[in-house]
Structure 1
């Protein structure tokens, strides 16, 4: 599996994306920045679609998506069967997203999640393994095309 992590945001998540990108690089991970790189208004589904393609193709093992609340970008990302994007609000939900749902994309709200909480969520997301077992069949059901 690639040690590359993709990261993307819309304009509402740019500031948090910049901070988390630094954390990823500090861990020695390769970071693929899919944008945006400006505070100009953009459409979050475009970044969710780019993330889905990046993870599906294997260019990145996992991803991080950020929009203002995290809601819209997570809905857009989860339209893709290969994506399990989890909007998290704290370290506990980040842990459960990995352990029980094998989430491959962490989603945060740039306007709703403080920087230290976001950093904690990212660390837990990266450091937590999928438990498998009874959760594996559920993940399999979620991963089937429409």
Structure 2
């Protein structure tokens, strides 16, 4: 198993509208890396595709999970250089009061158990990932 991580990005925006625009931009950028979305769950309303265009019969080689969080205030997260930094970043995210969290989006690829994400696709779509 290889765990890779793109350094966390903290992007401070002034005002709700500017922050929402940036959050949506990041969401679209990440979703644009997917060949297809096979599962969508918004406000507990689920839409699931039962087929995958890329079903290959092989087990998944890699999985990429992206977590987008929009929160009020300035939050300093560590640069990720190891699993300890990753744990610290998650702890800091978990410590943000719910009243200050504006939006959270969790994206992962591949979503379908019959879909694959090869090393080549991983390197092409996520060039900033690096081994931990």
- TM-score bucket (shorter structure): under 0.3
TM-score (norm 2): 0.28
Structure with bigger strand share is 2
State the structure with more CA Rg: 2
